[in-house]
Structure 1
Amino acid sequence: MKTFKTTFNIGISQKALSKGFVVPLKINFKSTPHIILVAPSGAGKTYALKYILRQLAEADSLIYLCDFKAIDFSTMSDCPNYFKHSDVNKGLEVVFELMQKRINGDVGCEQPCYLVFDEWAGFLASTPKKTQEEYKQRLASILMLGRGLGIYVILTLQRADSSNFSSGARDNFGVALGLGRLSKESARMLFPDETDVIEAKPRGKGYLRVDGKPLTEISIPTIKDMSKTDLIIRRALLSSDEGGH
């Protein structure tokens, strides 16, 4: 049986970098599932997302990308695992249905599956109130049950707001990443115990918390070949595998 990698670099330590050392900051989705990434416009959110996505793709992960704005990943438009604009809810449903299949034993859980949802808040704001609640409940179920089924969520927002989640759902994010100039509300939601020490950071830099451990200052490394990175991500989004077949 093939063994799939679930440990990836999320960035590098800014503290070590300031001393001339490159120390990768790693996360293991199996032990610390789900990432919430908050960054205002221009803070490097998409760049960080591509840095992570490439690694997931290179590990033969099953990836579903929901891209509400459909700007930064527009070249992926013809990929079956890519959903844009008003169709992003379909990506959420596909992963929710896959989760049900894995629960019922209809498919295996060996291949890690990642639901990557870019601009969750923007998507919710575009839907009626009643439908919003349905989508929030779907996400909450995946966040709560996904770990044991090899299904993980990476969610991005420009601003963090508790109204974007069902009650208690955001507590299921094991990894919190905030980049750039975070609003006080975003800092309070991501890092409630360190709000007073959060400072505005330049593009591609910010703060990381993994599994409730102390806050770490993080820098997103330079992607040396963006064209190749996009191609690798694209290939993963062309995959029609269904997690364990």
Structure 2
Amino acid sequence: MEKQIIPLVYDEDMLKLHHSIYVHCDMTSNPHLAIQGVTGTGKTYLVKQILARIGLYLPTSKITVCDFKGDDSFIFLEDCDRYHRFVDCMNGFNEFYDSFIKRQTRMNTDRNLHILLFDEWGSFLNYLDKKQAEEYRKKLSIILMLGRSFNYHILLAQQRLSAEDFPKVRDNFNNIITLGNPSKEVIGMFYSDIREQIQNDRGLGTGYMLTNGTDFRKIVVPTVTNMAKVEHYIKRAVEYGT
């Protein structure tokens, strides 16, 4: 499988040296990404940039959006078949999972990238009854463990990643971005080995990135100058192949 590289965020240390150097992600080797941060830290702003870069740099990619929060951030997708909000996220996730199973069982021989954005997965699980929630956790775990080989990827965004919502979250997500100042619980869960590098100085659009559990860096979210263009590339990937 060819490399599928996209730019994610700026390296803050390089920015301080007046070099706008991106931290890149190769989706073939680091397939799953989780973004956490309290309200107002810029999660959705970053998510939209990442989705747009997938649409731009990997033009045959497919994106499925499950927007449980359901505010106006993705309203430009409301007529797209692979956009789902609130309760309909159940259908959206199941459709994504079923298409993964078809590829895994060779009913579908395509190998183009297909990524699921799920905004507020934890809130979604809390909405479901216990049996349903466990079913969706199991399906997500299967995709996290097997998805890379079939070019199926997960992008999750929520206020705080927890072991309850994501068993072995640090092991299953190759890239974890924390925006804003992490809580003591988050530091203990993700940054316990490097807690001396965590400072209470993170503002809007800044944070930390951990890759493969060991590669740590301070990051800055780039500024968007043309949001219409960002939304164009997202919509193109959400509609691709429909």
What range describes the TM-score normalised by the shorter chain of this pair? over 0.9
Q: 2:90 & 2:199 partners in 1: Cα distance?
A: 35
Segments of 5+ residues of structure 1 without an aligned counterpart are none
1:161 partner SS = coil
Preserved CA contact (<8 Å) 2:33 2:156: yes
Report the equivalent of 1:106: 107
Mean Cα displacement is larger for which, 176-185 or 11-20?
A: 176-185
2:38 to 28, 31, 40: 40
Residue 39 of structure 1 and its aligned partner are, at CA, apart by 1.0
2:193 partner SS = coil
Instruction: Establish whether residue 120 from structure 1 lines up as the match of residue 121 from structure 2.
Output: yes
Preserved CA contact (<8 Å) 1:38 1:157: yes
Preserved CA contact (<8 Å) 1:114 1:151: yes
Residue 5 of structure 1 and its aligned partner are, at CA, apart by 5.9
Preserved CA contact (<8 Å) 2:163 2:169: no
2:25 to 24, 27, 32: 27
Which residue type is aligned with residue 183 of structure 1? S
Preserved CA contact (<8 Å) 1:118 1:155: yes
Q: 1:50 & 1:30 partners in 2: Cα distance?
A: 21
Deviations 1:81-122 (A, max 9, x none): 111001112121112111111111111242011011111111
Instruction: Establish whether residue 50 from structure 1 lines up as the match of residue 48 from structure 2.
Output: yes
TM-score by length of 1: 0.92
1:6 to 4, 7, 15: 4
Residue 154 of structure 1 and its aligned partner are, at CA, apart by 0.6
1:193 partner SS = helix
Q: 2:209 & 2:144 partners in 1: Cα distance?
A: 19
Preserved CA contact (<8 Å) 2:3 2:28: no
Residue pairs, 1:14-163, within 5 angstroms = 14-58=12-56, 59-60=58-59, 61-71=61-71, 72-163=73-164
Q: 1:160 & 1:6 partners in 2: Cα distance?
A: 26
Residue 21 of structure 1 and its aligned partner are, at CA, apart by 1.0
TM-score by length of 2: 0.93
2:219 partner SS = strand
Preserved CA contact (<8 Å) 2:66 2:89: yes
Q: 1:88 & 1:193 partners in 2: Cα distance?
A: 36
Deviations 1:152-206 (A, max 9, x none): 10111101211112x3355211111100122222233333322343223101110
Preserved CA contact (<8 Å) 2:33 2:175: yes
Report the equivalent of 2:228: 227
Which residue type is aligned with residue 38 of structure 1? Q
Q: 2:91 & 2:180 partners in 1: Cα distance?
A: 31
1:115 partner SS = strand
Instruction: Establish whether residue 193 from structure 1 lines up as the match of residue 193 from structure 2.
Output: yes
Q: 2:25 & 2:84 partners in 1: Cα distance?
A: 26
Residue 41 of structure 1 and its aligned partner are, at CA, apart by 0.3
1:53 partner SS = helix
Number of residue pairs aligned between Structure 1 and Structure 2: 238
1:159 partner SS = coil
Q: 2:232 & 2:25 partners in 1: Cα distance?
A: 24
Residue 134 of structure 1 and its aligned partner are, at CA, apart by 0.7
Preserved CA contact (<8 Å) 1:187 1:195: yes
Computed over aligned residues only, the root mean square deviation of the Cα atoms, in angstroms, reads: 1.6
Quick one: percent identity of the two aligned structures? 31
Preserved CA contact (<8 Å) 1:12 1:23: yes
Preserved CA contact (<8 Å) 1:178 1:190: no
Preserved CA contact (<8 Å) 1:124 1:164: yes
Check 1:230–1:4 CA distance in 2 against 1; reply closer, same or farther (3 A cut): farther
